[in-house]
Structure formats: structure tokens, C-alpha cells
């Protein structure tokens, strides 16, 4: 635990150094593509003219100066499976983005889609004796949360305090300076498989880059595709990626739950490939060009040429109606959505005041998904696209890039995590100076 | 897993990923300091090395110097830059001759070899030249525009007769006074410094034009007006013109200069003094004696 905190603090320091230098890279290693964006920070509101609330709610302190995507290799279910292949993919993306940005980047912030994320709700409380809450008290109450046993080999990815309560008043955003007798806090802890982190760390190291931050891709796509009142009132973001579908639940602008389903668009492709006896590349093309999930009578007449290069004329000249294609795709999409529904039910999503569900990610672009999803997920479903950020190319602004854009926002405005708060003085070494100061404060 | 036999199936394009070395080199090139040193430092370095290679060996240095001189000469000797003749404007024949004599140029010559300021100084150094403008006209002509000094007086000094302009500058030497009878004559030490005052006096003395012989500077402080028959008018140091006008007024009223007067002394303007000639003085005394009834021998 302490080692992780050390590494998280080190990453924070590195992120600050990168911000000081002004250039940082965003790396989204997904199952179907690897995206790299290069951000330039030029101080707050540099690109803004005029008064009032800044463009994009003040999110415009950075600008995307380089963007590149490449086909991902060696990644399955959002986890790195063949290190060298993935490393080459990262190198391709980073070099192309650097070329576009004409600047060298040394720090990257990466996101992880797989690794079987698990959410834990933590609670802690301390007595205050009627004194004003100080930073040390916040540190103590965070330290008093009892950490569940999440098993060996798992690492904490996010640990965000989501709520503070002072006596009978709950929902405080910042309890400092207020007076009460009892301070309580709720914390959301997200753990993922440690080997996944280690693999991506190794890949990034091999590319001569330094990791300046890690985030869950379900979380960052929620940050980019949920609008502000959805985050405030309660909503779920479903990031339908290539190999895994991440889902995150937000309320009061905090993530309270995250999970992932190990199913995605690649499974639809492989279904098409198996069902129509075509190679994966052709199946992918058929899916993106002709795919759909709601069949109409028109689709019976629309015939799709399958093509092929086997040399067998009969085999290469086959056609299939679009209705048949939809018949292959729909069960798999339904399965994904039902799995998501099951996870949401397990998380208790139905108890939230607002039950908005936002579908994003590359697989959410299947035509007709907005007709199918409400049948499974409930009425409040919309297809979301990520926030627009300065300088992002048009090609990188569709919903497949919601986690990359979310990482940009995460880099610019990171959420306070456990390791960003002070360390309680009694956790310091015995000979620490701060402990002496605390003793003086208490006794004088 | 690496397959033992590299498979190149159709449609499988080459790996777009850069090798690790290419990736590192690319990043190195994008490093600002390295990039700048490569862009500025490398050319500078090559330049410095080539200069050093040339400069360190005397033979090469000489070769380069010779080559530079050669190129320079070949440009300077182009027909566009050659000057073929000199044209002199605004000078009399004698002055033009003198200018051609003192400017030692052998045409044709390259305009780069002409030192126009020095030539201008030389020409302006001639006494007869007030101002000289030189320029090289298109077509290879050295144009000299000269304005000559205007002689206004003749100055006699220690047996030499010279012409002076208004500022007292020497213009030319005369062989004889009669060469320029139209110019007034001045003499005496320091006369050349006050040519303008002398001219004023000459202008004031116009009523006795035919009698005026010249002006003499006495003791470098005042003027004497010399008239014919060795008569003189002695003028004061200050405002000599007024004193001369006074004498002329006297002459108009009493015809003083028509009488047998040797000298009119105006050195003290409030008390004009007249010296009679010897014979006139004796005559005057005799008349006075007769008037007084004194018998004479």
C-alpha cells in the first residue's frame, strides 16, 4: 500500500513537472486502436479572449497540438497480451503525434480499460472535540477508513474521497474550517490487476517515456462524455470499446462505481467473421459500413457483397442481405447491453435520483443502437460524444476517442485522490520534524 | 510468438512501427537544444573549419588573396565602370588647362581607381576656383563643374600685382596694372583682408572717378585715398566711408579738391584739415602781407 502511494505521489510530481514544461502526452492503449494526443499547457486561459466564464467551462487551459492513432496489436480485453507488439504500436502512435506537434514529449498519462476493475466503498470517522476541521483532521479521517482485503496482486488505481459528513450534515465538499464533533468521510476505491499496470508501465518505459499518471478508462470516458448536470444528478457512462465495455457511475461529480464487461466490438466482428465465413478484416469493414441492430423490411432487399480473395469464384461472389448481418450482430450487442444492465443492477443504479445512461466508445456508433439500448437499459439512454477540446482534429473527435479526450481533461483538472492529501502526523516517522511541530501545537 | 518462417500474406502491409533506433533518433532530433545546435552549430562549425584550413597555410592564404584580387580586378575593369574622358564646365580655357595639368589621370581608367574627394580637394585648391563639383556621368565621363572666383580688385604688393576676389582670396597674378584697368587698385599691407571695405570706399568715391588712383592701407589700420597729382585724402580708422562722403560734400560745396591742395586730413572727422601745396601757401602769405600793408622785399 505504501509503495503504491509512493509511486502515485511520484507520478503526481512528474505530472506537475510536465505541466511546468508545458507539454504532456495522452496515451490510450485500447483493444482496437492506440491513440496518442500531445497537449500543450500555456497557463490558465491562454487561448481565450474576452471575459466571463471561459470557453468549455474553463477547460481550455490546454490545447491539443498533436494527434495520432494506429491499429492496436497485442491487446485483448484492454490488457496487454504481447508486450513487444504493443510497444511497437505505442512507438508508432507517439512518433506520429510528436511529428505533428513538432515537439518531443517525455511524460505520458495513460488509461487502462481492462484489468477487471473492482469498486469498494470505504467509510471512516473520527472525533473532533468541537474544534475546527484542519487539514490534519482530513488526513486522519481518510486514514481511518478501513481498507478491505482486495486480495493479492491487485493495485489501487483510484481512491477518491466522495463525501464528507460533519455531525448530522452530509454532502460537504470541503469540511475544512467548519466546527463539529464528528467528521466522517466516504471514499471510493478502485482496484485493478497489478500485472496490467506493470505491463503498461514496462511498455511506456521501453518507449523512453515517463508515466505521469494512470486512470481507469471507464472513469475518464465518463468525465468527457457526461455533461455537468448528468455528473451532478447521477448517470452511468458505458464506454463500449473494442475488447471491453467499461461502465462508470457518477453522482455529485464523483465517480462512485466502476466496472467493466469483457465484451466489446471485436466480439461482434468475430461473430460476423464466423457467421459469414469471411476474414476478420472484411468482417470489420462490413460491420462498419453496413452494420446495424434494428432490421427493417428494406434490409431484406439490400444485398451486401462479401468479396474475398480465395480464388474460389463461388466463394468470393457470395452476397448476404443486410437483415442477415443484423441478425448476426444484434444478439451480441444485446448480450453486451444485458451484461451492462446486470452490472448496473448489482451496483444499485436504480436507487439513484436520475438514471441517465450515456453510451459512448467506438461500438456505440452502430446504427440503430439508440433504438435497441432503451429496450434493455431503460428509457433514459443517449449516445454520447466527448467534449470538444481545443485543437483536436475532426478525425479524433468521435465517440471512439471519449477516453482519450477524458484523459486530457483528467490531465488538466485531476480529481483529488487519497495521496494528494496530507499524511497524518502519527504516520510519520518518529523523528520527523512535523511530528514535533504537531506536539508543540497540541501542548501550547 | 514469433513464427519461424516470416509470413507475407497478401494484403499484409509492412510494419509501420519505427525501429527503436529510428524512434530514439527521431526523439533526439525533436529535442530543442540538439535541433538548434544541428541547424546553427553545424554550419558554423563547417565554416570555421574551412576558414581555419585556409588561414593556417600561407600558400593557401596567398592563393585565396590572389584569387580575390583577380576577381576584384575583373569586375573593376568591366567597360561599364571605365571612365574615358574628363569634361570641364564653367571654367575659362586657362583654368581648364590648369585643372587638366594638376589632375594626373590617364584615361581610360576604372572609376574604382578614381579618388574623387582627393581630386575635388586638388581642384578646389586652385586660386582661381571657388568651388568644384565632380561626378562620374553614365557613359564613362568624369564631369567637373567649376565656378571661378570673380576678381574685383587689383592689389599691388612688393612689386607683385595680383587680382583678389571679394573675400580677399588671390585669383591670379597680373603682369601689369594695365591688363585690368577696369578694376580698382589697392595697396599696402593688410589691404587684402578688407577688400569689401575698399569696394565700399571705391563706390563712395564714384564722383571723383577719373581722379581716383587707388587706395592705400596705412599701418594696417586706416585707408588713404590716392588721387591724381599725388593728392591724398587721409581717412579715419572708424567709418571711413562717412568721412569720404564728408570730403565729397565739401568738394561739391567749395570745390576743395579743385584747389591747390596737397592733402585732406580726415583722421579726426570733426576737424578736417587741409594742407596746401608749397606755392599756394606762399601765395597765400603774400596776399595776407599785402592785405596787412606789410612791405616785402
Which of B99, B114, B148 is the last residue before a domain boundary? B148
- Rounded Cα–Cα distance for residues A359 and A261 (Å): 14
Using an 8 Å CB-CB cutoff, list residues of chain B that contact chain A. 10-11, 15-18, 20, 23-24, 26-27, 30-32
Structural domain contains residue A274 = yes
Query: Contact A207/B31, CB-based, under 8 Å?
Result: no
Q: Number of CB pairs < 8 Å for A and B?
A: 33
Chain B residue with CA closest to A310: the answer is B10
Q: What is the pTM of this model?
A: 0.66
Task: Give yes or no for A341 touching B (CB within 8 A).
Answer: no
Phi (first) and psi of residue B267, to 5 degrees: -65, -35
Q: Do residues B120 and B137 both lie within one domain?
A: yes
Q: Which of A246-255, A405-414, A431-440, B147-156 is the least confident region?
A: A431-440
Report the alpha-carbon angle B153-B156-B160, nearest 5: 120
Query: Contact B30/A98, CB-based, under 8 Å?
Result: yes
Q: Which residues of A touch B20 (CB under 8 A)?
A: 91
Predicted pLDDT at A275: 93
Mean pLDDT of B153-171: 84
3-class DSSP state of B191 = helix
Q: Do residues B99 and B160 both lie within one domain?
A: no
Residues A332-360 pLDDT 10s = 999 999 999 999 999 989 898 888 999 99
Q: Which residue's entry shows cell 577688400? A: B195
Q: What are the counts of helices (DSSP H) followed by strands (DSSP E) for chain B?
A: 9, 14
- Rounded Cα–Cα distance for residues B239 and A323 (Å): 130
DSSP single-letter state for residue B71: H
Structural domain contains residue A315 = yes
Q: What stretch of H or E contains A316? A: helix A313-316
Closest CA of chain B from A323, distance in Å: 29
Q: Are A373 and A330 in contact (CB under 8 A)?
A: no
Which of B93, B113, B148 is the last residue before a domain boundary? B148
Structural domain contains residue A237 = no
Which of B122, B148, B174 is the last residue before a domain boundary? B148
Q: Which residues of B touch A94 (CB under 8 A)?
A: 23
Q: Do residues B260 and B184 both lie within one domain?
A: yes
Of A152, A139, A224, A216, nearest to A183 by C-alpha is A139
Chain A residue with CA closest to B12: the answer is A281
pLDDT band at B10 (very low <50, low <70, confident <90, very high): very low
Of A89, A91, A103, the CB nearest to B30: A103
Q: Are A105 and A25 in contact (CB under 8 A)?
A: yes
Q: What mean pLDDT value characterizes chain A? A: 87
Which of A192, A227, A251 is the last residue before a domain boundary? A192
Closest CA of chain A from B45, distance in Å: 25
Structural domain contains residue A271 = yes
Assign 3-state DSSP to chain A and report helix, strand, coil percentages, each to 5: 40, 30, 30
Q: Report A:243-282 residues touching B (Cβ under 8 A).
A: 281
Question: What is the extent of the structural domain holding B92?
Answer: 79-148
Q: What mean pLDDT value characterizes chain B? A: 84
| Residues facing residue A127 across a β-bridge | A182
Predicted pLDDT at B205: 83
Q: Of B28, B30, B38, which to mutate for an interface test with A (greatest number of A Cβ within 10 Å)?
A: B30
Mean pLDDT of A245-250: 93
Of B15, B23, B32, the CB nearest to A95: B23
Residues A159-190 pLDDT 10s = 889 989 998 888 888 888 888 889 999 999 99
Q: Which residues of B touch A95 (CB under 8 A)?
A: 18, 23, 26-27
Q: Do residues B133 and B160 both lie within one domain?
A: no
Closest CA of chain A from B16, distance in Å: 7
Closest CA of chain B from A104, distance in Å: 5
Predicted pLDDT at B1: 54
Structural domain contains residue B115 = yes
Closest CA of chain B from A82, distance in Å: 8
Task: Give yes or no for A40 touching B (CB within 8 A).
Answer: no
Residues B169-225 pLDDT 10s = 888 888 888 888 888 888 888 888 888 888 888 888 888 777 888 888 888 888 888
Q: Do residues B161 and B284 both lie within one domain?
A: yes
Structural domain contains residue B126 = yes
Closest CA of chain B from A170, distance in Å: 51
Peptide bond before residue A267 is cis, with ω within 30 degrees of 0: no
Structural domain contains residue B8 = no
Predicted pLDDT at B14: 66
Residues B36-45 pLDDT 10s = 999 999 999 9
Is the per-residue pLDDT at A250 higher than 70?
yes
Q: Do residues B122 and B177 both lie within one domain?
A: no
- B134: CATH: 3.10.20.310
Structural domain contains residue A297 = yes
Query: Contact A95/B24, CB-based, under 8 Å?
Result: no
Is the per-residue pLDDT at B295 higher than 70?
no
Which of A277, A309, A330 is the last residue before a domain boundary? A330
Structural domain contains residue B167 = yes
Structural domain contains residue A187 = yes
How many structural domains are present in chain A?
Answer: 2
- A172: CATH: 3.30.1490.110
Task: Give yes or no for A100 touching B (CB within 8 A).
Answer: no
- The grid coordinates listed for B39 are 541547424
Q: Do residues B120 and B171 both lie within one domain?
A: no
The tally of CA atoms less than 13 A away on the side-chain side of residue A19 is 18
Structural domain contains residue B43 = no
pLDDT band at A38 (very low <50, low <70, confident <90, very high): very high
Residues 6+ apart with CB under 8 A from B40: none
Mean pLDDT of B248-265: 84
Structural domain contains residue A229 = no
- Rounded Cα–Cα distance for residues A249 and A347 (Å): 9
Mean pLDDT of B252-276: 85
Structural domain contains residue B34 = no
Q: Which residues of A touch B18 (CB under 8 A)?
A: 91-92, 95
Structural domain contains residue B62 = no
Q: Do residues B101 and B199 both lie within one domain?
A: no
Query: Contact B18/A92, CB-based, under 8 Å?
Result: yes
Q: Do residues B89 and B157 both lie within one domain?
A: no
Structural domain contains residue A412 = no
Q: Do residues B83 and B171 both lie within one domain?
A: no
Q: How far is CA A92 from CA A33, A99, A114, B177, B245, in A?
A: 11, 11, 22, 107, 111
Question: What is the extent of the structural domain holding A169?
Answer: 118-192
Percent of chain A past pLDDT 90, that is, above it, reads: 45
Residues 6+ apart with CB under 8 A from A141: A124, A125, A126, A164, A183, A184, A185
How many structural domains are present in chain B?
Answer: 2
Structural domain contains residue B4 = no
Mean pLDDT of B118-134: 85
Of A88, A99, A104, the CB nearest to B15: A88
Query: Contact B23/A91, CB-based, under 8 Å?
Result: yes
- A280: CATH: 3.30.420.40
Q: Which residues of B touch A89 (CB under 8 A)?
A: 17
- B229: CATH: 3.40.50
Is the per-residue pLDDT at A316 higher than 90?
no
Q: Do residues B161 and B120 both lie within one domain?
A: no
Residues A117-155 pLDDT 10s = 999 999 999 988 878 888 888 888 888 888 888 888 888
Q: Do residues B112 and B210 both lie within one domain?
A: no
- The grid coordinates listed for A433 are 520534524
Amino acid at each position: 500500500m505504501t509503495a503504491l502511494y509512493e509511486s502515485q505521489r511520484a507520478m503526481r510530481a512528474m505530472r506537475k513537472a510536465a505541466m511546468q514544461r508545458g507539454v504532456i502526452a495522452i496515451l490510450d492503449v485500447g483493444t482496437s486502436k492506440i491513440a496518442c494526443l500531445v497537449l500543450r499547457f500555456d497557463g490558465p486561459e491562454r487561448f481565450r479572449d474576452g471575459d466571463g466564464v471561459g470557453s468549455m467551462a474553463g477547460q481550455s487551459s490546454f490545447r491539443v497540438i498533436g494527434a495520432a492513432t494506429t491499429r492496436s496489436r497485442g491487446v485483448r480485453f484492454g490488457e496487454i497480451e504481447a508486450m513487444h507488439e504493443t510497444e511497437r504500436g505505442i512507438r508508432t502512435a507517439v512518433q506520429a503525434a510528436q511529428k505533428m506537434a513538432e515537439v518531443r514529449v517525455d511524460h505520458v498519462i495513460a488509461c487502462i480499460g481492462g484489468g477487471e476493475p473492482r469498486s469498494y466503498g470505504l467509510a471512516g470517522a473520527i472525533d473532533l472535540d468541537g474544534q475546527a476541521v484542519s487539514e490534519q483532521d482530513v488526513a486522519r479521517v481518510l486514514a481511518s477508513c478501513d481498507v478491505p482485503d482486495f486480495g493479492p496482486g491487485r493495485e489501487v488505481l483510484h481512491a477518491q474521497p466522495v463525501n464528507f459528513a460533519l455531525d448530522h450534515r452530509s454532502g460537504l465538499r470541503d469540511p475544512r474550517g467548519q466546527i463539529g464533533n464528528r467528521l466522517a468521510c466516504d471514499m471510493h476505491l478502485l482496484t485493478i490487476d497489478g500485472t496490467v499496470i506493470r505491463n503498461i508501465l514496462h511498455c511506456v518505459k521501453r518507449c523512453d517515456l515517463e508515466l505521469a499518471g494512470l486512470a481507469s478508462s471507464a472513469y475518464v470516458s465518463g468525465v468527457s462524455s457526461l455533461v455537468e448536470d448528468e455528473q451532478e444528478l447521477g448517470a452511468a457512462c458505458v464506454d463500449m470499446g473494442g475488447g471491453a465495455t467499461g461502465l462508470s457511475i457518477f453522482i455529485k461529480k464523483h465517480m462512485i462505481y466502476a466496472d467493466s464487461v469483457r465484451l466489446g466490438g471485436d466480439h461482434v466482428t468475430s461473430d460476423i467473421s464466423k457467421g459469414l465465413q469471411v476474414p476478420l478484416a472484411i468482417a470489420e469493414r462490413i460491420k462498419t459500413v453496413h452494420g446495424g441492430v434494428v432490421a427493417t423490411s428494406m434490409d431484406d432487399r439490400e444485398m451486401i457483397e462479401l468479396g474475398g480473395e480465395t480464388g474460389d469464384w463461388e466463394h468470393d461472389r457470395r452476397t448476404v442481405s443486410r437483415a442477415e448481418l443484423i441478425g448476426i450482430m444484434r444478439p451480441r450487442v444485446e448480450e453486451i447491453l444485458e451484461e451492462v444492465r446486470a452490472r448496473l443492477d448489482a451496483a444499485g443504479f436504480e436507487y439513484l435520483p436520475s438514471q441517465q445512461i450515456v453510451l459512448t466508445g467506438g461500438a456505440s456508433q452502430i446504427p440503430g443502437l439508440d433504438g435497441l439500448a432503451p429496450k434493455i437499459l431503460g428509457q433514459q439512454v443517449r449516445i454520447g460524444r466527448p467534449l470538444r477540446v481545443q485543437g483536436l482534429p475532426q478525425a479524433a473527435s468521435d465517440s471512439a476517442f471519449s477516453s482519450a479526450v477524458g484523459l486530457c481533461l483528467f490531465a488538466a483538472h485531476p480529481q483529488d485522490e487519497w495521496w494528494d492529501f496530507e499524511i497524518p502526523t502519527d504516520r510519520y516517522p518518529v523523528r520527523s520534524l512535523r511530528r514535533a511541530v504537531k506536539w508543540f501545537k497540541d501542548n501550547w | 510468438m514469433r513464427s519461424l518462417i516470416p509470413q507475407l500474406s497478401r494484403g499484409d502491409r509492412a510494419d509501420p512501427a519505427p525501429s527503436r533506433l529510428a524512434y530514439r533518433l527521431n526523439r533526439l532530433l525533436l529535442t530543442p537544444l540538439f535541433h538548434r545546435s544541428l541547424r546553427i552549430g553545424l554550419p558554423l562549425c563547417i565554416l570555421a573549419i574551412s576558414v581555419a584550413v585556409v588561414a593556417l597555410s600561407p600558400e593557401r592564404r596567398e592563393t585565396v588573396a590572389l584569387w580575390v584580387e583577380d576577381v576584384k580586378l575583373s569586375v573593376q575593369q568591366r567597360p561599364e565602370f571605365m571612365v574615358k574622358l574628363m569634361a570641364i564646365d564653367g571654367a575659362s580655357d586657362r583654368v581648364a588647362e590648369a585643372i587638366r595639368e594638376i589632375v594626373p589621370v590617364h584615361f581610360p581608367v576604372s572609376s574604382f581607381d578614381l579618388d574623387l574627394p582627393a581630386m575635388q580637394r586638388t581642384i578646389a585648391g586652385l586660386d582661381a576656383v571657388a568651388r568644384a563639383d565632380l561626378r562620374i556621368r553614365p557613359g564613362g565621363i568624369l564631369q567637373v563643374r567649376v565656378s571661378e572666383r570673380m576678381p574685383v580688385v587689383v592689389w599691388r604688393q612688393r612689386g607683385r600685382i595680383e587680382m583678389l576676389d571679394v573675400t580677399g582670396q588671390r585669383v591670379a597674378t597680373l603682369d601689369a596694372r594695365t591688363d585690368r584697368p577696369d578694376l580698382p587698385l589697392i595697396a599696402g599691407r593688410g589691404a587684402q583682408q578688407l577688400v569689401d571695405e575698399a569696394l565700399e570706399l571705391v563706390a563712395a568715391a564714384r564722383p571723383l572717378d577719373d581722379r581716383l588712383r587707388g587706395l592705400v592701407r596705412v599701418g594696417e589700420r586706416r585707408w588713404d585715398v590716392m588721387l591724381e597729382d599725388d593728392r591724398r585724402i587721409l581717412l579715419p580708422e572708424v567709418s571711413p566711408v562717412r568721412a569720404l562722403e564728408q570730403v565729397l560734400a565739401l568738394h561739391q560745396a567749395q570745390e576743395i579738391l579743385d584747389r591747390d591742395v596737397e592733402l585732406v586730413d580726415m583722421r579726426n572727422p570733426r576737424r578736417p584739415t587741409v594742407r596746401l601745396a608749397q606755392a599756394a601757401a606762399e601765395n597765400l602769405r603774400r596776399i595776407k602781407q599785402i592785405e596787412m600793408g606789410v612791405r616785402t622785399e
